[in-house]
Amino acid sequence: MTVTGPAPLPAFATDEGLLPRVLTPYKPHCRYLLSAEVSALPGGLSRVRAAFTIPESCYIDDTGHLNAVEVNIAYNQMMYYLVAKSVKEGLLTGFESWTLEDFWRHQLPDILIARFASRFQRPIDARDFHGEMEFRSISRRSPGGKPLLMATTTYRYGDAGGGRCDGDATLAFVNIT
């Protein structure tokens, strides 16, 4: 008798057409995301595993390690790519009716970080590091009668030398009607 488990959830290698489009709003020297693999998760959620490089900070002299501002910028790029790829592949609950055109229209004005927390364990080499982010939950709300989606996420970064930072963020997707 052969026992089979549930079918594996889909995973998608870096979409070479999508990645540059997602990063278009960033100034060329602030495009840190190099590659990103997106995976479906149970319950209509998704995750991304990504590679980054920050050859030179966009705002401060070299600190020798990844800092909180760059963590946030890298998170934004990872999150935007994850949402865009999830929309394209139909992975995320709450976004079933979205097209990529909807994502492009909402990318900057309507995707907000409502809360962001970082915990640095050990310094990370900003010139070569990896990150991971996943959606933990998405819920539809209507405060004041205006519908929005709220999403809880977690993320972590690391490098070959054992550097580590992790955290969580809450996102608000507004003007979604």
Domains of the chain: 11-173 (3.10.129.30)
3-state secondary structure of 155: strand
Contact present, 92 and 44 (Cβ < 8 Å): yes
CA distances from 19 to 14, 35, 80, 142 (A): 7, 8, 9, 32
Q: How far apart are CA 151 and CA 114, in angstroms?
A: 10
Place of tokens 């602030």: 30
Q: How far apart are CA 38 and CA 81, in angstroms?
A: 9
Number of H-type helices and E-type strands within the chain? 3, 7
Residues in contact with 25: Cβ distance below 8 Å, sequence separation at least 6, in sequence order: 107, 108
Per-residue pLDDT tens listing for the chain (177 residues): 556 666 778 999 999 999 999 999 999 999 999 999 999 999 999 999 999 999 988 878 777 889 999 999 999 999 999 999 999 999 999 999 999 999 999 999 999 999 999 999 999 999 999 999 999 999 999 888 889 999 999 999 999 999 999 999 999 999 987
pTM of this prediction exceeds 0.75: yes
